[in-house]
Amino acid sequence: MTAEPSAELLDRALVEEAAKKSGLLWVRSEGGRDQALWHAWVEDAVVVVGDGGEQPLGGLAEGVNTVVTLRSRDKWGRLIAFRATAELLTPFTAPWKAAVDELKSKRLNALDHEGVTDRWAADSRVLRLAPQGLSVENPDAMPDADHAAVPVPTGATTRRPVPEALPRLLLRRRKKR
């Protein structure tokens, strides 16, 4: 007779599978807002690179407690969320190199693909977010809240109305051709 897999084992397997399949996740620091980050899965943890010309990491820093949310690859909806503490990886150590190698393979549109390792070592931060304990949200335990957030304050404005004369000018040009 085989033993049933534990809830923690199933939970970890779902986190790993979701992290490997999706290139985007959301991280919420204590008291902060959810922010979308691209990532990679390396040695049982999510790794992200940011700042220094890469994605902004905001309040994400060494020792900060976070909630990481992963989406479903096929439905793109919220699949699982877990707690993690951010760990800053020291440049050129073995864990940092493993993380950078995997992140570099995901960063296909880097302008300086050959020099990205040195640039990340000098200007960016590579953080490791390892799952801690059971997930806080999973397919069997989803919250009832809608998770809607107030938009971030910005100086951007909406487009002004189209000037009244513009449609006539555009139509006149077409007729002349």
46 or 60: whose pLDDT is higher? Answer: 46
Which has the closest alpha carbon to 84: 60, 101, 57, 103?
A: 60
- The answer to whether the beta carbons of residues 36 and 26 sit under 8 Å apart is yes
CATH number, span 7-141 = 2.30.110.10
User: Per-residue pLDDT averaged across 12-41, rounded?
Assistant: 87
**Whole-number Å distance between alpha carbons of 46 and 50:** 13
pLDDT in tens, 132-164: 988 777 666 676 777 777 777 888 877 778 788
pLDDT score, position 32: 79
**Whole-number Å distance between alpha carbons of 149 and 128:** 26
**In which band, very low, low, confident or very high, does the pLDDT at 177 lie, cut at 50, 70 and 90?**
low
**104: exposed, middle or buried (Cβ count in 10 Å: 0-12, 13-18, 19+):** middle
DSSP for 108-167 reads: TT-TTTTTHHHHHHHH-EEEEEEEEEEEEEBTTB--SS----PPPP-S--PPPPPPTTHH
pLDDT score, position 42: 93
pLDDT in tens, 74-112: 777 778 889 999 999 999 999 999 999 999 888 877 777
pLDDT in tens, 33-45: 888 899 999 999 9
**Whole-number Å distance between alpha carbons of 162 and 26:** 37
* Side-chain half-sphere CA neighbours of 110 within 13 A: 20
pLDDT score, position 80: 85
